Amino acid sequence: MQAELAAFQRLAEELADEAAIRLRNWFGKATASTKYDGSYVTQADLEVDGLVHQAVANDYPRHGVLTEETSPFYRGDEFTWVVDPLDGTNNFANGLPLWGCSIALLHEGRPLLAVLDFPPLGQRVSAVRGQGAAWNGRSLCIEPPTELHGNHFFIVDSRGVRALEFSLRPKTRLLGSTAFDLAAVSRGMAVGCCELLPKIWDIAGGWLVLSEAGAKVAPLFSGASVFPLQAGTDYADRVFPLLAAASPPIWDSVRASIRLKAGSDRVAHQLQDQGWVLDR
């Protein structure tokens, strides 16, 4: 298995390298169109999506591929590559240099390895289940603060800003890339992050990175689960409200401070329809 795992890692790194080249080539040139859910997609998203499908088909034809743009259906293969070809598409389309590519390989529905690459920053974070995480090749191990203060950062996604109430000492930040939000917690740049409506390709890689770096990452609400993925499921519209923190005590403290805002009925119904149990 170790030789096989090493080969999987090489492919993930090669995919990240090639994706970085193509995304850089498109940055500042790509045009965005609007998808059915109101989010952006660009030529860069689609080109890297095609790259992933072709590479996996060539090297591992029995592996599944689950991507944001063209293949959201999970068949339940023993191995499945879960990829967001361009995480932070809105940033990318508007010329903001904070975006990247998120690559995860699942074994029997659970993350086995991950590579998150952020070309504008020259930063790459990786992880292998049971073997730890690394940032640009250097081992990652979170050293959480003993208490929170006003100079710490807590990252929130745009939907969370609109629909959630927070009572936190740290300053909140909105960065526009779920993969980078999760990576930032693993590096200690932020004490935590909350992603209200991410999709599986947004979080699969970051979930493993955080777990291997020693953080606590778990669903924001109860009632449903993230992993293992369920065979025969279309993940196009499935959402996974997530809270990550540098330590379990920080996670508990932050979680106790979060509530849905009054008037967030649309979000509440979306979450409840997918099995999440909300506390208001």
CATH number at residue 217: 3.40.190.80
Q: Which of 107, 43, 231 is nearest to 51 (CA)?
A: 43
In this structure, are strands 242-245 and 153-156 parallel, antiparallel, or unpaired?
Answer: unpaired
pLDDT digits (tens, 9 = 90+) for 162-174: 999 999 889 999 9
pLDDT at 35: 85
Is 62 inside a domain boundary?
yes
Average pLDDT (107-130) is 99
Which domain CATH number covers 37? 3.30.540.10
Is 145 inside a domain boundary?
no
Query: Which H helix or E strand runs over 175?
Result: none
Residue 166 contacts by C-beta under 8 Å, 6 or more apart in sequence?
154, 156, 172, 194, 257, 258
Query: Which H helix or E strand runs over 223?
Result: none
pLDDT digits (tens, 9 = 90+) for 81-102: 999 999 999 999 999 999 999 9
Rg (CA), the chain: 18
Same domain, 97 and 167: no
Same domain, 34 and 75: yes
- Give the count of domains, the chain: 2
Domain with 164 in it: 153-273
Average pLDDT, the chain: 96
Contact 1, 131 (CB under 8 A): no
The residue out of 140, 164, 179 marking a domain boundary is 140
Same domain, 109 and 176: no
pLDDT digits (tens, 9 = 90+) for 189-207: 999 999 999 999 999 999 9
Same domain, 23 and 49: yes
The residue out of 105, 140, 175 marking a domain boundary is 140
> Rounded to 5 degrees, what angle do the CA atoms 88, 92, 97 make?
95
